[in-house]
Amino acid sequence: MKNPAAVGGKFHDCPSGWACDIINNNNLKALKIEGSGLERFQHGSGETLQTSIASAYADKAPWFGYYWAPTAVLGKYPMVQVKVSEHNAEAHACNGDADCATPKASAYPPSKVVTAASAAFTEREPEIAELMKNVSFTNAQMGAILAWRLDNNASYDEAAVHFLTNYKEVWAGWLSADAKAKLAAILK
């Protein structure tokens, strides 16, 4: 793939004022994008950023920019992550500062997701607390569920049923044999 900056075009970026605004701008400075023919276009809202992806997909047009996962839009439209550099914690921290004197290219770090519960909850609901220790899924899986929910104007409860019905290989490892058998009987 050619360097997008070398061929011109547009970098669809997050709205002004978002944390990604500062980080992405510093990454673009570090990559010496200014004057390259690549225009940084900041959307006015998250909704217009989403719409730009949907429109490009419908038009079979190229789209280059910043987006995060898991989200319905990335669950619905197949995108390819462009890896510009590895994550560098020191560079990323500086890039998050609007006054960073020496921006350096750095990928975003993966976000850590944790499940937390109060002691009172785990004492009152030990089986649910044990289940939640096992719950794990990928960004792609969550994105697909969110996209299904959006496309079907479904409630979160309906999305949960869709997940349980269509992703048995994912949730099967979360449950005890007894719980798995009970849930399988309900889903028949």
Domain-by-domain residue ranges, the chain?
Answer: 4-95, 119-187
pLDDT the model gives residue 8: 58
Instruction: Determine how many CB atoms are found less than 10 A away from the CB of residue 25.
Output: 20
What element of type H or E holds 121? helix 119-124
Q: Which CATH class is domain 4-95?
A: alpha beta
Q: Are 5 and 33 in contact, with CB atoms under 8 Å apart?
A: yes
**pLDDT band for position 113 (cuts 50, 70, 90):** confident
How far apart CA 119 and CA 150 sit, in angstroms, is: 35
- Tens digit of each residue's pLDDT (9 = 90 or more) over 17-74: 999 999 999 999 999 988 888 999 999 999 999 999 999 999 999 999 999 999 999 9
Identify the DSSP state of 18: S
Q: Could you check whether the bond before residue 62 is cis, i.e. omega within 30 degrees of 0?
A: no
- Tens digit of each residue's pLDDT (9 = 90 or more) over 164-176: 999 999 998 999 8
The per-residue DSSP string of 155-170 comes to -HHHHHHHHHHH-HHH
How far apart CA 47 and CA 188 sit, in angstroms, is: 38
Q: Which two tokens stand for residue 56?
A: 């490009």
